[in-house]
Structure 1
């Protein structure tokens, strides 16, 4: 005769194990998917081709600090995943260094604004940071933790393209070593703010793509003088409407233009209509670095469909 407790007990055990996984809020990212392939780069050469200007290039959004929103904190894998599920995206994120020399994702020098902790990031070990939770943009505490750069890069291969904002006192060499360890060269662009910084990165890793601030033709000349090739560059052209002469010049060199809509231009789009994002592309931008990535992506999707644009590198 069957044991009447056998099946209820089995069900109870299953529920207990499932509960363990659902409530796991540690830094193992059990709840972050590893299965959505969005970009198809066989190697870094494909990234070069994808990020080289042509009239048929597909415009993209770059989610500033990963695209935070209510319940989704900045610089969190869960936030990156939310954006990546909805649109092919570049994820801009910020890299800091812990007391025990581990690279982690956080924007501020201190923990106070974005986490449940206090004090300077570089005075805390990774183990100490792992005890903290991230806050969303309204200040509410979430269940999400501070990710390491290695975890982030390993997760992102095939899903997003990262632009890495390396904070001061973080050696470029350490960031490059993390890229090598995770074999993520084809999915990474390193942000620089001067021709000298761009030259340092290029000398350390000639194969990696670089985002360089190019506000005028002289900035491009300075980069060329330091032997940073056009084929390794994307250009950040500022946070106001792009100068058409400048974007035309950069396009002639095959360089894509990133327009920072963060701040004023995002505000204009929110007030006047999200079709403005498509107008920014029409006026010379190729990538929009925005605090409103999902709204911008919706506008660009219509732009892409209308012009029948596509790329073999995007699923």
Structure 2
């Protein structure tokens, strides 16, 4: 197949995709300002439970860490989008989970060995290894797309300077829908010093973890607690709620597998037990259970709307 025909088919695929999704209703989460975003995230008895779509919710035809995939996800649920950021050879922040290109693109080798221009010659693969028409995007593109649509949790890959992430959030005015993921107290301290006004996802499985980070200057009101990939003790949820710290439970892995085997109502029960956000590889299935919970508990939010554009 000639290069011209390949380019034509790629452009036609993108056009068809654009026409379809331009007419499809989707759930949008939008905040007028940063304060209202933080108030929404902060725990209360009327906290609105949400699914965090792990790597954006990839599925057949839709690659991970790609705005086309994010668009597909919010057709079904209001979503937090968890997405991964790596660094190209020429220091461009790009969306990629793995250190290498082999699994998710038509390329091979380490992502850090390619310039952004070189990366643009590649195409992304979906969850079944099929080549799509979609390309590797930049963090700037992702942050611009997400305005008034989703909440982001940004997962920064090893070797990517935190300051570059904070600067990108500032440049794109994404403070009102962005949470930065950290994995230990030192990372949380670094982000807190760089951007004391931003929300930070912290690894916190109890009182000691929260107090350790507070001792380093991380404010509790800026924390979103990731409590692990298995349910914590009730006391953990109780303590976090007493501090108004929202909790994210990772269901990707064993809990998602249990839901497949035993029924999706597991997700409903996890919220009932104390989680506020479920980070899942099955965002649509989990989201349906959370929608049922919201209806049963008569929870409402003026920040979440079903939009036609």
Q: Distance in 1 between matches of 2:53 and 2:267?
A: 14
Is the Cα contact below 8 Å between 1:242 and 1:285 reproduced in 2?
no
Asked whether 1:111 is paired with 2:90, we answer no
Q: Which residue of structure 2 lines up, in the alignment, with residue 23 of structure 1?
A: 12
Q: Which residue of structure 2 lines up, in the alignment, with residue 78 of structure 1?
A: 68
Q: Distance in 2 between matches of 1:152 and 1:159?
A: 11
Shift of residue 217 of structure 1? Answer: 1.7
Match of 2:196 among 199, 203, 206: 206
Q: Distance in 2 between matches of 1:170 and 1:211?
A: 17
Shift of residue 242 of structure 1? Answer: 2.5
Asked whether 1:244 is paired with 2:234, we answer yes
Q: Distance in 1 between matches of 2:195 and 2:89?
A: 26
Answer with 1 or 2: which has the greater Rg. Answer: 1
Q: Deviations over 1:69-105 (max 9, x none)?
A: 1111111111111111211100000000001110000
Q: Which residue of structure 2 lines up, in the alignment, with residue 168 of structure 1?
A: 158
Q: Which residue of structure 2 lines up, in the alignment, with residue 193 of structure 1?
A: 183
CA spacing shift, 1:187–1:61, aligned 2, 3 Å: same
Q: Which residue of structure 2 lines up, in the alignment, with residue 136 of structure 1?
A: 126
Q: Deviations over 1:141-178 (max 9, x none)?
A: 11111110000000001100000000111001111111
Larger displacement relative to structure 2 (279-288 or 78-87): 78-87
| Aligned-CA RMSD value | 1.9
Shift of residue 33 of structure 1? Answer: 5.4
Q: How does 1:147-158 map to 2 (within 5 A)?
A: 147-158=137-148
Asked whether 1:221 is paired with 2:224, we answer no
CA spacing shift, 1:197–1:120, aligned 2, 3 Å: same
Q: Which residue of structure 2 lines up, in the alignment, with residue 178 of structure 1?
A: 168
CA spacing shift, 1:74–1:97, aligned 2, 3 Å: same
Is the Cα contact below 8 Å between 1:70 and 1:136 reproduced in 2?
yes
DSSP 3-state at the match of 2:237: helix
Q: Distance in 2 between matches of 1:107 and 1:33?
A: 28
Shift of residue 20 of structure 1? Answer: 8.9
DSSP 3-state at the match of 2:58: coil
Structure 1, gaps ≥5 residues long: 1-18
Q: Deviations over 1:174-194 (max 9, x none)?
A: 111111111111010000011
DSSP 3-state at the match of 2:100: coil
Q: Which residue of structure 2 lines up, in the alignment, with residue 235 of structure 1?
A: 225
Asked whether 1:101 is paired with 2:81, we answer no
Q: Deviations over 1:206-246 (max 9, x none)?
A: 11100000022211111110111111110000001232100
Q: Which residue of structure 2 lines up, in the alignment, with residue 282 of structure 1?
A: 272
Is the Cα contact below 8 Å between 1:194 and 1:212 reproduced in 2?
yes
Q: Which residue of structure 1 lines up, in the alignment, with residue 56 of structure 2?
A: 66
Q: How many residues align?
A: 295
Q: Distance in 1 between matches of 2:110 and 2:72?
A: 29
Q: Distance in 1 between matches of 2:10 and 2:87?
A: 30
Structure 2, gaps ≥5 residues long: 1-7
CA spacing shift, 1:168–1:46, aligned 2, 3 Å: same
DSSP 3-state at the match of 2:47: coil
Q: Which residue of structure 2 lines up, in the alignment, with residue 13 of structure 1?
A: none
Is the Cα contact below 8 Å between 2:30 and 2:147 reproduced in 1?
no
